[in-house]
Amino acid sequence: MKIQILSLAILCFMLGCSKEGTPPHSDQSAPSLKMATVKTQIEKPFNPKNPADSIGITHNQALTFVYQRLSQNENFSPDMKQKLVGEFFKNRYGGDPLKSLLQRHKQNQQIKNLEIKELTEKLGCSRTLAKNIDDIFLAAKEMKSPADYSVFKKKIMIVEDNVLSGKIKISRTEADQLLHFTSIYRHSMFFWMEAISKSPGKSEAEFLRKFIRAILGAGSDAYGAVVSLITYVSFRYVLEDAALDSAMMLWAFDS
């Protein structure tokens, strides 16, 4: 994701933690960074009401597989990350997906440099679908610690409920795309927030560095999921592309 996204994430975080800043829709001050560095229990990511919840579950299985082997090998190089993502999906589905996965990854880099609003417009999303996707990305930017995951998850589940009840007026295809996107983002954010909550760091600066990297990690595969969902028919491609985007952001969490 491009540099201004990182800058925006840092800006949003620091504004939220400023004594003079006013959190949106609340009179309460932002939580202290000292509180954020305490290990917290993260709410589980599952939503059985979403018929596409399995795609998020599989996504996190892929990330867990890759991270465990990166840690065992003490090798977090890009080549190793790519190899392990390919290995996971080869074991799951057969064939050799890595070559086509890397080709798609390279082809998508140009449009992945767009802001999310520009991306949904370029991909031809309806205004309703684009707004819901953008709102979910904004919900992620409002997070200030792993403990905020429950609020993030609740906002996503409201969107999912509104899709399933027909309150969100979009085509069946876009409804399906949105439910797959929310599943991946909801589960991915859990993966990253749980990792940070287990190893928040010993200082506020260390926590801040890890937390921002985790937010960007979850956002990276959510971004990749949007591209894949709109440009490809195969949900396997969506899984592979999102997993690779997120895996490329992995690092040794306890370092």
Q: Which residue has the higher pLDDT, 113 or 121?
A: 121
SS3 58: helix
SS3 142: coil
Residue 125, pLDDT above cutoff 90:
yes
Pick from 1-5, 76-80, 192-196: least confident: 1-5
Are 90 and 96 in contact by the 8 Å Cβ rule? The answer is yes
Exposure of 66 in the CB half-sphere (CA atoms within 13 A): 32
Structure tokens at 113: 């440099």
Tokens 């996503």 belong to residue: 156
Are 160 and 179 in contact by the 8 Å Cβ rule? The answer is yes
Residues present in the chain in total: 255
Q: Which of 187, 205, 209 is nearest to 253 (CA)?
A: 209
Are 224 and 17 in contact by the 8 Å Cβ rule? The answer is no
Q: What is the mean pLDDT of the chain?
A: 86
Question: Which pLDDT score is estimated for 38?
Answer: 60
Structure tokens at 53: 């919840």
DSSP 252: -
Residue 108, pLDDT above cutoff 50:
yes
* Residues 235-254 pLDDT 10s: 899 999 999 999 999 999 98
**Domain map of the chain by residue range?**
3-16+51-247
* Residues 166-181 pLDDT 10s: 999 999 999 999 999 9
Residue 4, pLDDT above cutoff 60:
no
Are 247 and 85 in contact by the 8 Å Cβ rule? The answer is yes
Give, in degrees to the nearest 5, the angle at Cα 121 between 117 and 127.
85
pTM of the shown model: 0.85
Query: What confidence tier does 137 reach under pLDDT thresholds 50, 70, 90?
Result: very high
Q: Alpha-carbon distance 54 to 236, whole Å? A: 12
Q: Alpha-carbon distance 64 to 68, whole Å? A: 6
If you average pLDDT over residues 185-209, what whole number do you get? 93
Question: Which pLDDT score is estimated for 111?
Answer: 81
Q: Alpha-carbon distance 18 to 42, whole Å? A: 25
Q: Which residue has the higher pLDDT, 110 or 46?
A: 46
Per DSSP, helices labelled H in 52-171 are 53-73, 78-93, 98-108, 116-122, 127-141, 149-165
**Phi/psi class of residue 135: alpha, beta or left (left: φ > 0; alpha: ψ in -120 to 50)?**
alpha
How many other C-beta atoms are found inside a 10 Å radius of the C-beta of residue 82? 18
Residue 26, pLDDT above cutoff 50:
no
Structure tokens at 92: 């799951």
Q: Which residue has the higher pLDDT, 181 or 12?
A: 181
